[in-house]
């Protein structure tokens, strides 16, 4: 403890309970917003923007905030359409990460994509690339987008 402030551990790693999170599918014409993850779990893979829901925050607020933080784009969150368990174990089999991820659809309102916060890259990906797959994309995310948007 320094200056009367206790340092707390990162509760997302080896958590005491599941962490609620959002994953945000932003569609613009025939493209989807994707980010390259800058942190574990799944560092270096392409997926949709998202992250933990903050205390007192609604799903829509979390979705809009996460997209802004990771891509610098303004969106309007529309609806939740599915939820998944994201459970990762370390090499010893201990529970390292446990998220309950609610997938949200959001409408693109404006801005130019620029990587921020937990993203190292950000770009619009065509429906064709979603259908065919592209290098280092998260397979579960691609499957969810294909199913939800009929690709």
Task: Give the catalytic positions in this structure.
Answer: 121
Distance (Å, rounded) from C-alpha 48 to C-alpha 31? 12
Distance (Å, rounded) from C-alpha 18 to C-alpha 4? 29
- Please give the DSSP secondary-structure letter assigned to residue 149: H
Q: Which two tokens stand for residue 128?
A: 């064709």
Distance (Å, rounded) from C-alpha 81 to C-alpha 28? 18
**Backbone φ, ψ for residue 36 (5° rounding):** -95, 120
């Amino acid at each position: 403890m320094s200056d009367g402030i206790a340092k707390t551990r990162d509760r997302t790693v080896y958590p005491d309970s599941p962490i609620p999170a959002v994953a945000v599918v932003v569609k613009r014409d025939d493209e989807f917003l994707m980010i390259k993850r800058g942190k574990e779990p799944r560092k270096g893979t392409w997926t949709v923007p998202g992250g933990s829901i903050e205390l007192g925050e609604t799903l829509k607020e979390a979705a809009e905030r996460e997209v802004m933080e990771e891509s610098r784009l303004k969106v309007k969150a529309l609806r939740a359409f599915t939820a998944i368990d994201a459970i990762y174990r370390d090499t010893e089999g201990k529970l390292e990460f446990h998220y309950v991820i609610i997938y949200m659809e959001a409408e693109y309102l404006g801005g130019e994509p620029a990587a921020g916060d937990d993203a190292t890259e950000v770009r619009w990906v065509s429906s064709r690339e979603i259908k065919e797959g592209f290098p280092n994309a998260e397979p579960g995310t691609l499957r969810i987008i294909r199913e939800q948007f009929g690709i």
